């Protein structure tokens, strides 16, 4: 028993005397055995050796620029990568109407979520009135004007065109209604 106690105490002493800064030695570490200064010297030599391929190009004097990001002249901008055919060929023109519709539908969703969060009946009526006002100003008023024009129109080509516009506005109103019903419910 005394031996096991003394062995345990000896192990504790040995553990306390171990160095606290241990490091992992990798078998394939190229910097093994070198000091930090020696490592920096080797890296500097490697940089110098690789830059020898570009020594002639680096000797060409370059005019310093005020800014590195912005183009200094209009001619330089015309020669930039953003004005090449490769950049422009995949870009579609910006759809302003589609963007506006997307933003209106996002606003309808926000109003519906707000409506579902409010518990006061007066405030809920205000939010519902805002929703109705938004749909009326964006789609329904124009729909009613087109329907009236369609009723008075005698040219069949024009009536056909107006029917397409009316159908499109009806779809937009239906989209708003679907979004409202999806997000405004309490269930």
Question: What is the DSSP annotation of 87-154?
Answer: HHTTPPPP-HHHHHHHHHHHHHHHHHHHHHH---HHHHHHHHHHHHHHHIIIIIHHHHHHHHHHHH--
Average pLDDT, integer, range 123-132: 93
- Give residue 34's pLDDT: 83
> Quick check: 86 and 154 in contact, CB under 8 A?
no
**Mean pLDDT of the chain, nearest integer:** 81
Q: How many CA atoms lie within 13 A of 125 on its CB side?
A: 3
- Where residue 58 falls among pLDDT bands split at 50, 70, 90? confident
Does the pLDDT value for residue 108 go beyond 60?
A: yes
Please state which of the ranges 24-33, 84-93, 137-146, 178-187 shows the lowest mean pLDDT. Answer: 84-93
Tell me which H or E stretch contains 29: none
| Per-residue pLDDT at 70 exceeds 70 | no
In the chain, domain spans = 96-183
């Amino acid at each position: 028993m005394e031996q096991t106690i003394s062995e345990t105490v000896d192990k504790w002493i040995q553990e306390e005397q171990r160095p606290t800064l241990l490091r992992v030695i990798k078998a394939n570490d190229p910097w093994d055995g070198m000091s930090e200064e020696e490592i920096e010297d080797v890296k500097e030599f490697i940089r110098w050796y690789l830059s020898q391929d570009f020594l002639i190009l680096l000797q060409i004097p370059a005019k310093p620029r005020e800014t590195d990001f912005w183009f200094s002249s209009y001619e330089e901008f015309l020669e930039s990568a953003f004005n090449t055919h490769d950049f422009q060929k995949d870009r579609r023109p910006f759809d302003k109407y589609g963007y506006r519709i997307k933003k209106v539908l996002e606003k309808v969703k926000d109003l519906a979520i707000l409506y579902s969060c409010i518990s006061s009946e007066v405030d809920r009526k205000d939010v519902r009135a805002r929703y109705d006002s938004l749909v009326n100003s964006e789609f329904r008023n124009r729909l009613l004007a087109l329907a009236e024009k369609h009723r008075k129109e005698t040219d069949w080509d024009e009536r056909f065109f107006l029917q397409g516009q009316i159908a499109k506005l009806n779809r937009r109103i239906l989209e708003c209604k679907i979004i409202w019903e999806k997000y405004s419910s309490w269930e």
